[in-house]
Amino acid sequence: MAAPSPQPSQPAPAGKTAPRFELLTLGDELLLGLTANGHLTWIGAQLGRRGVQLARNVTITDDADAIAAQLRESWARADVLITTGGLGPTCDDRTREAVAEVLGQRLVFNDAIMREIEDRFARLRRPCTPNNRKQAFCFERGEVLSNPNGTAPGLWVAQEGKVLVMLPGPPNELQPIFLDQVLPRLAALGLVAEGEAYLQLRTAGVGESMLETRFQPVFDRHPGLGIAYCAHQWQVDCRVSSPDGRYPRAALQAIVDELAVLLGDDLICVGHDSLAKVTADLLRAQGRTLAVAESCTGGLLANSFTDICGASKFFMGGIVSYSNEAKMTLLDCPECLLSQHGAVSAECAVAMACGVAEQLSSDYALAITGYAGPTGGHDGNPTGTIYIGLHTPHGDWSKKLHYPGLRPAIKQRAVTAAIDWLRREVVKETRRTREPLAN
């Protein structure tokens, strides 16, 4: 979908050749397409922030023989090998043994782990069945990564100048172990950066080549910078680092500040916040509230804001007006407007935005109506046509857009475009508030 540019200058911890990181994800459910490989997305992003790009991710079945064969191959190539899954009570009994054999280690029963598992079951008032016992086996030369949210602890082995990290599969168990125990250990060994390895400018509304053209004069004045562009979700991130350490943090920050000025309102943020989060923070800072009305995106726009913790501070609510009746009843869209212009029209988008703002007494409101496909649409407004309506304290507008692709992609792009438009309007208001004389 989005194609980032190659990353020739991905920073490595200073003074080392870049260690090779591989991720081994175990699970039939991934290969059968039953669940998405969320561990790759999450671990890949976390390592990226510490200056490491995963060299490879291999997904294989839960079968112990397959695990042993792949582990042997990956362990020979990688400097750091991270595995997910395969540690729970219902996993193949032979998984741990197969891994121990590849490492040339013995498995030992760990009383302390068993007591923790038994305590956990006692706290939950559930019986501790015998198959939980295998989770108390660990490698004779290795460390145990305790798991506050589950029974199977993670395992850490450092040998032959390499590191093997085995993590339990459930995300709510894996993620805290990785952040609190794995990253600090990797940093102590110099395998990942101590903190954030780069500064990131997150942009919207500019293509990658245009961004490069705008930034090049600044980069020409600062040789030796590490620069990487990452396009995703119709945004482009630019990551700036100092691979050889010649630019200290403050100097990098000054360069990024200069780039930020060049970007103007095309800058979403410096950092990792999502577009929705940045927009939410701007609204909160201005003490403004938001409501949304949506037709073809059917709840996805509201969901983008309610995914943010504390959304109730600014988000008044949303209306999914999937039928003309709902548009009339809940949003006060006039019947004559719907019959004259249709539900997929600039007029309807504006009426929906104003209607929901009035219903929920919000300062701002976004509305989306369109044809997300695969059916619907006609000559003037083919499938992929989207109208966005925006209500602000200063006026109401609409915008017509057209996106190619499948229904989920069209819905996501429409939501992204709508939120970015709102962000730009709130930025303008913020500027007017701060610089009353300049306007």
The residues in 248-287 that bind its own copies, with binding defined as CB under 8 A, are none
Minimum Å gap between C-beta 189 and its own copies is: 21
Minimum Å gap between C-beta 302 and its own copies is: 3
DSSP for residue 380 = S
Segment interacting with its own copies, rule: CB under 8 A, options 33-41, 245-253, 345-353, 417-425: 33-41
Asked if 17 touches its own copies (CB under 8 A), the answer is no
Asked if 351 touches its own copies (CB under 8 A), the answer is no
Assess contact for 136 and 114: CB atoms under 8 A. Answer: yes
Asked if 126 touches its own copies (CB under 8 A), the answer is no
Q: In the set 329, 339, 340, 433, which binds its own copies (CB under 8 A)?
A: 329
Q: In the set 13, 19, 51, 88, which binds its own copies (CB under 8 A)?
A: 88
d(CA 349, CA 342): 10
For residue 125, how many C-alpha atoms fall within 13 Å in the half-sphere facing its CB? 0
Compare residues 13 and 142 and give the one whose CB is closer to its own copies.
13
Asked if 18 touches its own copies (CB under 8 A), the answer is no
Looking only at residues 143 through 172 of this chain, which bind its own copies when binding is defined by CB under 8 A?
149, 169-172
Asked if 61 touches its own copies (CB under 8 A), the answer is yes
d(CA 116, CA 102): 28
Which residues, including other chains, have CB under 8 Å from residue 301's CB and lie 6 or more apart?
292, 294, 318, 366, 368, 415, 418, 419
User: Site for its own copies (CB under 8 A): how many residues?
Assistant: 95
Minimum Å gap between C-beta 110 and its own copies is: 23
Compare residues 85 and 153 and give the one whose CB is closer to its own copies.
85
Assess contact for 419 and 372: CB atoms under 8 A. Answer: no
- Report DSSP letters for 249-293, one per residue: HHHHHHHHHHHHHHHGGGEEEESS--HHHHHHHHHHHHT--EEEE
- The burial class, CB within 10 Å (0-12 / 13-18 / 19+), for 326 is middle
Asked if 377 touches its own copies (CB under 8 A), the answer is no
Asked if 374 touches its own copies (CB under 8 A), the answer is yes
Q: In the set 181, 279, 321, 416, which binds its own copies (CB under 8 A)?
A: 321
Chain centre distance of CA 333 = 36
d(CA 362, CA 290): 5
Segment interacting with its own copies, rule: CB under 8 A, options 97-105, 130-138, 316-324, 420-428: 316-324
Closest of 173, 186, 89, 74 to residue 137, by C-alpha? 89
Asked if 56 touches its own copies (CB under 8 A), the answer is yes
Segment interacting with its own copies, rule: CB under 8 A, options 45-53, 107-115, 185-193, 386-394: 45-53
Which residues, including other chains, have CB under 8 Å from residue 45's CB and lie 6 or more apart?
none
Looking only at residues 392 through 431 of this chain, which bind its own copies when binding is defined by CB under 8 A?
404-409
